[in-house]
Structure formats: C-alpha cells, structure tokens
Amino acid sequence: MSERKAVVLVTGANGFVGRHVVPALTRAGWSVRRAVRSPEGTGDEVVIETIGPETDWTGALDGVDAVVHLAARVHHKHEEHAVQLYRNVNIAGTLHLARSAATAGVRQFIFVSTVLVHGRSNEGRAPFSESDILTPRGLYGMSKAAAEEGLRTLARDSDMKISVIRPPLVYGAGAKGNFALLTRAVDLGLPLPFGAIRNHRAFLAVQNLSSFILRRLTYPDPAGNFDIFLVADREQVSTPEFITRLADASGKRLRLFGVPTSLLTALLNVTGRQDAHDSLIGSLELNISKAIATGWQPQVSLDEGLRLALSAQDD
C-alpha cells in the first residue's frame, strides 16, 4: 500500500502568488487542496467565498497537514468601510483560520505577511531584520502586523508550528501593482524620470518565495512553534538598476533620464502619492541571513526571475 501524501491547504490559490506556489508544492510531492472564491473545476479545491471571523473551515481542513495562507485584502484602502474589511479579512479572518487549523490537528501554518510591517523605507538605517520593532504603515501593513501578533499569541498555546514570511515586492508572471506598471511603461518605451535615484531596494522573485515556503514545509524547526523570516532575492538594487534589468530582460530600448530626487519628491507630494515616493525613491534593504541559515538558497537570480516573468507573460 502506498504511503499517503501530505496534504496542504493553500488559500488564495488562484491569485498571483498562489498560481506559482501550488504547482511548486505539487512538483515537490504535496497533495494540494486549493481554497478559491469561485470553482475552477480542477484538482482538489474548496470554495471559500469570503474569509472572515465566521468562515466555516471544517471541510476544507479535513485531513490537512499544513496550511499556506496567502489570501488577503490588498490595495483597497479607499473602498467604503475599508478599515473594517481589512480587520475582518487580514486580522480576524487569519486568526480564525489559524485557530480552526490548530483545532483540526494541522501541524504547520505558514502566513505570508509583508515587509510593510517594518514601514516603507529604512533610509539611513541598517537593513531591516526580524528583531526590529515594528512600525507598520497603511491599513495593509497595520493589519498584517496585528495578525502576526495574534499568531504569536496563538502559538504559545498550540502544538501547531507557525512561520511568518515578510516579503518585499514580489515579481513574476501575473504580478500586478508597481511591477505591472513598470513592465507596461518599459514595453511602451515611455521616458522614465528615475535615472538620478540612488537607493537600494529588496525584491523577491515569486519562484524564490515559493521555494522558501516549500523549505519551511519540508524542514520545520524542531524547537519552537513560532518564527519570522525576511525573504528576498540576493541582489538588492536601485530603482533605476531594477528598471534597466527589466528592460534588458524584455529586450526593449530603455528611455531613462534623471530628474533630481527633490523635484520628484515634490511632485509626488503634490499629487498625494507618498506611497509611490517611498517605493520609488526610498531605500528598503533587508537582512535575509536568518532565511539563508535555514539552508534555503534563492533558486533564481534577479535577471533570471525577470526573464521568467516576462517570458511567461508572452506565452
């Protein structure tokens, strides 16, 4: 009789990150149960229309060994009742799922948080590390920080091992947000005024995030039920360097010119885009030595990750 495959429930399975994590776990021998908002009719899937404090996870968690929680409310801060929605999904929903998983006998719970729990920039300071005091920015960052604290408390009274992963901007095929905007601008050959920026920022290829999740599932720490990791590509480069490498990967001619950062800052402040200022001009460096110490190594380089992102989008 063949040995039963370990079962992992992945929330947000049909989102950008989920569409990369699910096949990576499947290739590694896990039996993946996909939690989705609407049925796709492929493989082992459960429909979870909303994530919140009242969600019934009983059937979804039946026979599950591990949970990878990717689903979250993101980038809807101007939506009506946004504060309550972030609380319901990112805080109460996460903690309710984790409690339900612990009750169901799940052995491992991986929560993908965000580097924004540290703030948007570490300009003039040492790279962020897991031991830093948190200074979250925005509804999203604050909700993730609150969820982390709740998981820490839960881990004290549970046998379930909980890992928190704090990624920076994750790029890859299907990525939205700033990566999609930059890709579109480079593809169109638009002139970009970022050539004078001299910062250092961490980025994370979705393949590297997937491989770290797999590492935590495969080799959980024998001692302790709660741990936090900052994960990023090895290279942490400036905004213009990242755009240049993106253009090289796409084979497009880059039109990059320099505008003084003081002028860019003023323009972004006038337009109310402080978040854009931080993500374009500010530095965001991460110390990933703790993740490396687990035995994990980034599978792809920055250049390879960009090529994979763009080649997959062209298919």
The CA distance from 312 to 290, in Å, is 31
Q: What is the sign, positive or negative, of the torsion defined by CA atoms of 116, 122, 128, 132?
A: negative
Map tokens 């896990």 to a residue: 30
DSSP 8-state code for residue 115: G
CA atoms of 111 and 70, how far apart (whole Å) = 7
Strands 161-166 and 226-230, bridge-based pairing: parallel
Distance separating the N- and C-terminal Cα atoms of the chain: 41
**Of 86, 140, 171, 219, catalytic:** 140
- Of 143, 22, 120, 23, the C-alpha closest to 72 is 143
> 205 is written with which tokens?
């290829």
Q: Output phi, psi for 151, to 5 deg.
A: -65, -35
Query: Cα separation of 143 and 134, whole Å?
Result: 12
| Phi, psi (deg, nearest 5) at residue 278 | -65, -40
86 belongs to the catalytic site: no
Contact 96, 55 (CB under 8 A): yes
Q: Where are the beta strands (DSSP E) in the chain?
A: 7-11, 31-36, 45-47, 66-69, 108-112, 161-166, 169-171, 203-205, 226-230
Catalytically active residues, by annotation: 140
